[in-house]
Structure formats: C-alpha cells, structure tokens
Structure 1
C-alpha cells in the first residue's frame, strides 16, 4: 500500500467514525449497578431489577417521566366513599409481548400468584391492607380469597381492609402481571430471553450474566408508537468508579450512580451532565438483634450509633448533597414530620463522651475491645462508607472492625437469613411517597426485616396509624412508631440520599423525580454524536492517538 493510499484510508476511516448513526438506530446504554437478582417481577426487591422490570412490564397504574401517576393498563379508576374498594377499567385490546390477549382474569390470577406462599414475594408486606393478603401469604387461606376480582374481562376490583395509597402501590413490580403459562412451562427459567413474556414497552432480547441485559421495543405495547428508542442495554456496573470512566469514555449514556468525589471537580469535568436531585431514600447500618453481641445490648448499640460523625461522612465521604440522618424516614413526604434520635441535639464532644461511657458499661474497653463484622455489597461508595465508619468506631471507642465485602446476591441472601450478619449495609429507597413504606418492614418477621427487630409497642403504633381516621392522626402514630424504633437503636442512621447520575447530552426526556425512576419509554436519543462514536472520533482525530505512545485515559 502506498503512503497516499494509507493516508486516504485513514481519512475515510476517521470520517466514518465521526458520522453519528441515526438516533433511532442507536441503543440506549444504561449503567444499572449490580446484576439483577431476578427478573421475576413478584420476587424483585432491589433497584437493579426494578429498573429493568419497569421496561418489561406495566402495572394498572404507571408513572410518567416526572414521577407523576398516570394510567397504565387501566384507562381509568374509581374508589368507594370509604376508600376501601377500588375499581380499575382496562384499556381495550391489551396484549402480552407475544401477541396474545391480556385481560382482567389474567391480572387477578397473577395477583394470586404474587401472594401465594410458594412465591414468597418480599414486597407482599406493602400490600398488607389488601383483604386477606397476610392470610394468603401465610398459607391460612387459599389465594382465591385474596381481595381482588374480575367481574368481567376489562374490570379489576380490589378490596382493602383500610385506606391505602393504592394507585402508587400498583406501580410496584409485585403488581405487574406475570404470564402464568410461561411460569407453568418453564418454571424459574420463565425469566430468561425467549421465555419471558411481559406487557411493557420492551421485551427481553438478551441477558449475558455479569455483563449486560438487552431489551427491545415491544410492538404489541398499547403505546408502542410513542416509544422512541428501539433497544436498551442495561450494563452491570457494580464499581461506581469504573462506571464513571465508562461514561467518560463514551460507553454509557447514563450511569446508575456517581462515585464519591469532590462536587466541584465533578462539575468542572462534566458540567450539566451531572444530575443531582432530592431522593426519597435513607441509608443506615442495620444491626442484627437476634444474635450476640448486639442482641439484648441496647447500650452497646447506642454507643456505636453515637460514635459516628454524620457531618463528616456527608461532607468528606459522600459529598454530593446528602443530608446527615438522625432518623429512618427522609424529609420531603407531605404532611409528615420525621422523628429523630434522642441524642441528635448533642454536640460532637458530648456525643463521643456518652458513646465511651455506654461502651464501658456494656463491658468493653480499649484493652478488651468489641470485635465486630461490618458487611456490605460490592460498591465503591459502600466500601468508602464502611472504611470511614470502621475508622470512627476505632478512634472513638477502640472497636476492632472486620470488613466483609460480598457480591450482591450473596449479600442479600446473608442479610435476609440473619445468621452470620452482625452489622450490615442497610437502608431503604422509597417505593411510594409514604412514611409507612420506610417503617413497615420492622413490624413483622418477614424477609425485609433484616435486623430481626421485634417490638409489640412498635406494631401497636403501626396498627393505630392504620386505623386512624385522619391523615394528621395517621402521621402522628407513624411518627410515634419511628421514634420507638430509633429509641431502640435497631439501626444506625447515616444519611438521606440524593439521586446522582451522569446523563449524556443527547439523552432527552430525562427528568429528576423523588423516587428516581426513569423508564426508557419516556426517553429519546437526540441527534448529538453518540458516546462511543464521539469518543472514537476524538481519539482518531487526535495527534496523540496516532503516536506510538498512546493517550492518557480521560
């Protein structure tokens, strides 16, 4: 090949790289955190699977890009005067992603499957107001007695034992219709590509474990003509720092999180691609109350809580707008005034002095220190948080902390079993904007009560909140329940979340919302150069890229 031919070839290649593909041809590349533990909608209990399931399924009610409740499968609904009977009228012509009709009896059958004991749906507790929901999950009555019925093929009726935020609850994965013929034929494998049948804007096209998951536009979706992006690739991005580098290199359009870094440097580097907004979520450390050394040791638990400096954590470890937390329920829920730890008003010297006194009273000292394990799932932010808390406990009290890092699925299983855990990464992301959502798990011995907290007084306050006849009375009882939980030091509150994402300029339709949900159906890719093409074109055009020494990573 002549030098001229080689030069022309390089110019043509560079020009080809610099030409963006048409927006409609591009897949949306989304960082999604850890590998989804499941795509069984009724068994999902984490953000990673919820993000995907909201593309594959749609409930009777759904949310728009701003987080507002809008019609989903149901085109309209009504509620009885006492707030206990809800009637939903389905859109005409609903279909599954395989083209077969979807009607009200199938939705009812799916709800019965969700609450059957064999399903062990972790979010079943959120529907405890649904008539017979608890009894069905406990195997005390058959699923046919669940408070949901289909008087005709286009009507679904729910009966609740008390008022509840029903439309918001119906946006959760547990309320999505699962295709029961697929479950009957494939069992646990009904969630695999080629087997999974949904009813959402997308269908499952591919799943490469520990790498990515691809969904493609569902032509049978009732609003398929409004879905702008044909394919979406959800990437496994457990390491937040690596995810950021992939975004900077042009491999991702959106990140699931942003690793802890100084906000000023992130703003300088990414400008308005950095999206930070308030978020209904609380981060805390759970304490296993069912085994020593934390069982029957309220003073020791409080000493550990007192020894953490939340202001330092949010200023120097997280640093992206998080608020120091002294409670379980985050601010921002209409009408609710969150409770606070009974020692929240103490300054740092007084707080640390009290921590040391309680630590000594519990029988520990620097010569005879507490040795305890702090368990967290693989994540750069969680690792930094665990290291910081361990350092504070060591400095203030002399505690010896063993850090245990686990892959997400292993961590979730150990946390749920309450056998080997002592202190563990916990927290709650709001499912609905309701204070009860952050407290309900502590009121039963279900799979979400990771601490094993068991207190009749707490359950009584929840019950009184459920029986309240006014919103003000309900909020007052919920606050009393939260205060009792905090007084027992069952968890160590650390901070209230902000949502943190990097979003590429060509992603349109992305809006912050309190629950941080961003279904792909509301997004579009504009005409800006796609990340990978922009990165490749920049590298190809750079003189440094043509040298033998290469270029530095961004």
Structure 2
C-alpha cells in the first residue's frame, strides 16, 4: 500500500509540474488495434474504427472525459410530456470541415441513410427506438418514412415509437453521426477515403496508410475549436500487442490500445504510473455458429463446452489484470439483476461431472470426440486464450480442437456471413450504459447476431422491453430474456473486460470511463 501511495504521489507531482508548460508540438500517437474496416460511420463496426470516428464526426450528443452525457451538435433539447418526441436545437455555428453550414436537414438525410437497407449497416438496430425505424431497416417502408423532421435549419424533431430512457445515449453512436451529402453524391463509396472525407468533428482526415496509420489534423471549422489543443493525432494500426508495447517503450507511440498479458508483471514493477486500469462495459466471449453442425440443434454440447472452461484460471493466470469471470451475458449495470448461470456457484468437480454427462448425452465420448474449430483475429492474447480453452476441452472432455488465426477484416467478414462454421472469439462493448445494448445483439434480426441465434420467445421479450414505459417491468423483461438465452447457450461468456493501457504521463486531459471513449479534443501533450 505504501509503495502505491508513493507512486501516486510521484505521478501527481510530475503532472503538476508538467501542467505548467505545453509541448511545443501538439502531436499525439495512439496505438489503435486492428486496421479500421471503413471510415463511413454508418458502415463501421469495430471499436478501433469508432475511436477514429469520434474525432472525425460529432453526433447530437457527446461525452465528457468521465463519460457522462453532454451536448454535441445539439446545444439543447426538450422532451414532450408523453416522453416520445425530442426537439433538438442545433448550434448555429456548427460547420462541416469544408466550411459548409451543418443543418438539421443533414441529420434527417444521415439518419435515413443509416436506416436504409441499401447502406448495409450492421448497426441499424441502434435506430429502432425511432418511429418506423424497424420497418425502414427491414425494407417494409422507404427511408423517407423514418420519423425525423427538420422544421427549420437549426431544429430537429425525432419521434420515438415508445418511451426510451437511454435514447440520448444512442445519439453519440457512429450510426447516428451526420454525413456530408454533397460528398457522397459526388464520390459515392470514395467519399470516405481520407482525401475526400468531410466531417464535422474536432479533426479532419489527412492521410490513411493501410496497415500503418490514419493521420487526423485539427479541424479549424469545428464549433469548439478554440478549446482544442492537439494539432495532429496518429492512429497506428497495432494488431500485435507485443510490437505495440515495444513501440511504446521506444517512444514511438504515447498511448497503447491495450497491453500484452506477458508484460503485465514487468509493467507493474517498472512503470506502474503509466499503467491505467479501469472498469469497462464489455464482455469477452466465444460465439457458436448455430446454423451448422456441431452446434446446430445441440444445446447439450454447447452447455458441456461452457461448463468445461475454468474462467478463474483465464482471468487470474492467463490475463491477470483484474477482469471478472463471466457466468452471465450482461455485465453489472445499475438497476439490472444479472442472470448468472446456476452452475457458476458450483464447485469445479461438480461442473466437470455435469459437463461430461451433457457431452455424453450429446452423442460424444473419448472414442467418438467432437471436433471443434476455434477462429480468432490476430492477437497474442486471443491466441493464448484459445490455446488454454482447447487444452481444457481436450483434458476434461476429449474434444479435438483446431485453431485458425485470421486478419481482422477477413475474420469479421466470415463471421457475418456465417463462413466460420464453429466457434469464434468475440467481444461485445456496450454502445450505451443499459442492458439492452447487450440483449439486442441476440435478437434474431440483428445484423451483428453472428451466432445465428433464433428464439421467438427471446425476441418477444425484447420487443416488449423496447416499448415498456415502466422501468421496473422493462428490466424484468430483459432479465427474463437473458435467463432464457443462457439456457440455450448460443455463446460462451468468458470474462468481463477492464480497460487496460499504457499512457505517457505527459498525455493529460483524459479519464478512465466505463465506455472507454476518449476524445482527442480534450487532451493535451505536456512538455517532456
């Protein structure tokens, strides 16, 4: 405890000293995980891409450094008495990065585009609280029927199908960002190349070198540019955590996407003041393709494999940075009762006995083992976890496992198209601080339901929750849905995330927050 106190005191004193002087060059280098799949906010998917998009674009709402909701392009708003109509008042000085005025009509066009099936957004479900959105995203109604209206240039009205307590939190998700219509009409899909992107965020795209970096430069047209300090930010593609760690130590990057598990002990001993850990609204899991054998129509096999995994070993010995073992799907969220699997409290031997029983009832044995393929995107930690799980399945059940590593874009494509025929590594990070952001992933019509999970009762419970006005009853519907889904076991939750990264002490202005959203406009680089 004393050594921790001294480290914190040292960090505070250094920060206080550095805070007196800004670095002459305000340039920030961020490690950012895999190569971004697209810079079109309505088609992007990965967390790494969203990090960039939050600098390039701004929604109606935004977030403070601690993660709480603040006004974005909308400087204020009102909610009708029935709780179903929002009226947003846009900032009159909001501009696109090319100097064009940003108007309410831009949001009408953009929200309609995001909901349009032709855009092929896997996140169009984010818009479903809006009246007619479900019908638009499924092609039953044209995009023009989406209930968004622009009475004048600076007023936007959005009508909801039901009271949605978390709606304002949805409006800083990339799928709701405005896009520049003239650029799309001129360039088509090329409108989101670095040289053509017109955004409305604090930064604009300057350069995109594939498998190297995306460079953003300060957008002088941004409405709050006077409070922006950093001039340029590099988002470095860093799929290999060991290489990222080496680059951090060499001073090539100031901020890592994560840290390699193998280096945590060294980091804690040598640079503890640069190691930042905080809670995170996310779950790491193994998806199971329910559309093909061996998992199709075989819940006993799925449950047996889940029971055989020792999550305590994974979080304490394989990772060891404070993650929590997951025996439920939804992370701890205020007001929601996690539906923890009953066997989560069983002794290890009882779990293994049940796993072997279910495995045998599913038709497998030592003489007739199931063969399972695990796919994961390039990462030392994903590989390490896959090896441990494969060893557990082999030791306790006799499962034959094959590991397949894929580049991130290919991995995402194959998951979405159900080309990954068996098990695959995945993680889900909440888009807003509400259990529905996890529940809806397993909705049968959700574009990100890569497991192919279909249960009409589950869908019905989510549909009831989506229109329920009473907050307590709404949570009960979601709790029932999670309980039902865990009985079906379409995926295997493994652990709940924490944020963990290295950040140079001279990078200030940011805080750990449960969403792990960090806007470069809030940061500064101190002299060092």
TM norm structure 1:
0.90
Q: What does 1:261-410 correspond to in 2, within 5 Å?
A: 261=262, 263-331=264-332, 333-410=333-410
Unaligned runs of 5+ in 2: 1-20
Alpha-carbon distance, 1:24 to partner: 4.3
Alpha-carbon distance, 1:367 to partner: 1.7
Unaligned runs of 5+ in 1: 1-20, 529-554
CA distance in 2, matches of 1:437, 1:199: 26
Q: Is the 8 A contact 1:282 1:428 kept in 2?
A: yes
CA distance in 2, matches of 1:259, 1:506: 22
Aligned to 1:97: 97
CA distance in 1, matches of 2:196, 2:454: 41
Aligned to 2:4: none
Moved over 6 A (4+): none
Alpha-carbon distance, 1:467 to partner: 3.2
Aligned to 2:40: 40
Aligned to 1:221: 222
Alpha-carbon distance, 1:485 to partner: 0.6
CA distance in 1, matches of 2:480, 2:262: 37
**Count of aligned positions:** 507
Aligned to 2:23: 23
CA distance in 1, matches of 2:107, 2:463: 29
CA distance in 2, matches of 1:270, 1:365: 49
**Helix, strand or coil: the match of 2:343?**
coil
Say yes or no: does 1:181 pair with 2:160.
Answer: no
Aligned to 1:513: 513
Aligned to 2:73: 73
Aligned to 1:414: 414
Q: Is the 8 A contact 1:24 1:230 kept in 2?
A: no
CA distance in 2, matches of 1:93, 1:295: 55
Aligned to 1:159: 159
Q: Is the 8 A contact 1:375 1:421 kept in 2?
A: no
CA distance in 2, matches of 1:475, 1:134: 21
Alpha-carbon distance, 1:262 to partner: 6.5
- Change beyond 3 A, Cα 1:267–1:50: same
CA distance in 2, matches of 1:254, 1:149: 41
Q: What does 1:42-57 correspond to in 2, within 5 Å?
A: 42-57=42-57
CA distance in 1, matches of 2:467, 2:146: 21
Alpha-carbon distance, 1:182 to partner: 0.9
**Helix, strand or coil: the match of 2:262?**
coil
RMSD between aligned alpha carbons? 1.2
Aligned to 1:471: 471
CA distance in 2, matches of 1:521, 1:469: 37
CA distance in 1, matches of 2:419, 2:378: 20
1:411-439 deviations in Å (ceiling 9; x for gaps): 00011111333100122101100001001
**Helix, strand or coil: the match of 1:188?**
helix
Q: Is the 8 A contact 1:120 1:137 kept in 2?
A: no
- Change beyond 3 A, Cα 1:285–1:109: same
- Range 254-263 or range 190-199, more displaced: 254-263
**Helix, strand or coil: the match of 2:161?**
coil
- Change beyond 3 A, Cα 1:255–1:77: same
1:189-217 deviations in Å (ceiling 9; x for gaps): 11112200000000000000000010000
Alpha-carbon distance, 1:251 to partner: 0.8
Q: Is the 8 A contact 1:126 1:440 kept in 2?
A: no
Aligned to 1:427: 427
CA distance in 1, matches of 2:151, 2:48: 36
**Helix, strand or coil: the match of 1:213?**
strand
1:33-58 deviations in Å (ceiling 9; x for gaps): 00001100001111011000000000
Alpha-carbon distance, 1:503 to partner: 0.5
Q: Is the 8 A contact 1:506 1:525 kept in 2?
A: yes
CA distance in 2, matches of 1:503, 1:179: 34
**Helix, strand or coil: the match of 1:344?**
helix
**Helix, strand or coil: the match of 2:376?**
strand
**Helix, strand or coil: the match of 2:123?**
helix
Q: Is the 8 A contact 1:24 1:228 kept in 2?
A: no
**Helix, strand or coil: the match of 1:497?**
strand
Alpha-carbon distance, 1:466 to partner: 2.2
TM norm structure 2:
0.94
Between structure 1 and structure 2, the one with the greater Rg is 1
CA distance in 1, matches of 2:41, 2:301: 39
CA distance in 1, matches of 2:89, 2:22: 39
CA distance in 2, matches of 1:176, 1:127: 12
Aligned to 1:17: none
**Helix, strand or coil: the match of 2:327?**
coil
Q: Is the 8 A contact 1:228 1:523 kept in 2?
A: yes
Aligned to 2:9: none
Alpha-carbon distance, 1:74 to partner: 0.6
Aligned to 1:198: 199
Alpha-carbon distance, 1:319 to partner: 0.7
- Range 245-254 or range 198-207, more displaced: 245-254
CA distance in 2, matches of 1:410, 1:352: 35
CA distance in 2, matches of 1:178, 1:440: 25
Q: Is the 8 A contact 1:322 1:497 kept in 2?
A: yes
Alpha-carbon distance, 1:460 to partner: 1.6
CA distance in 1, matches of 2:296, 2:77: 47
Alpha-carbon distance, 1:478 to partner: 0.5
Say yes or no: does 1:207 pair with 2:170.
Answer: no
Alpha-carbon distance, 1:158 to partner: 0.4
